Amino acid sequence: QVQLVESGGALVQPGGSLRLSCAASGFTLDVYAIGWFRQAPGKERERLSCIDGKYVTTYFLDSVKGRFTISRDNAKNTVYLQMNSLKPEDTAVYYCAKGRSYYCGGSGSYDYWGRGTQVTVSS
């Protein structure tokens, strides 16, 4: 059974850092792309980043480039999102998702999702 479980979300002050984890099971992690997304209340889901089977990474939002870093440890079946210099506008539920293929595709190319982890940036 495919399962993705996010963890690491917390309340953090502006300028702080968090490292989110996405623990994967039920499939061979190194064969599939994994993406990170976020959704704030009342807003549409945003695609943040993707890492493919060749460890090629892609970042989609100018507001997070240079602050967020996606990485993958296949031996631990885990994908990470390191978030630095956090801002209040980063407050959202963060999700990881399994891609349908080896490469990162469009926003509709994900078939399994985690339940999300809450990140709140506030003083």
Quick one: pLDDT at residue 3? 97
Which single residue is written with the structure tokens 């801002």?
87
Nearest to 98 by CA among 110, 81, 109: 110
Residues 22, 61: Cα–Cα separation, whole Å: 20
Rounded average pLDDT over 30-46: 95
Give the CB-side neighbour count of residue 67, counting CA atoms within 13 A.
Answer: 17
Q: Whole-angstrom Cα distance, residue 109 to residue 96?
A: 13
CA atoms of 35 and 84, how far apart (whole Å): 18
Per the CB < 8 A criterion, the answer to whether 68 and 17 are in contact is no
pLDDT (tens digit, 9 = 90+) per residue, 103-120? 998 888 999 999 999 999
Task: Please state whether beta strands 92-99 and 110-113 pair in parallel, antiparallel, or not at all (unpaired).
Answer: antiparallel
Percentage of the chain beyond pLDDT 70 is 100
Q: What are phi and psi of 75, to 5 degrees?
A: -65, -30
Q: Which of 48-52, 82-86, 107-111, 119-123 has the lowest mean pLDDT?
A: 107-111
Give the residue-averaged pLDDT of 10-39: 96
- Average the pLDDT over 8-37 and give the result: 96
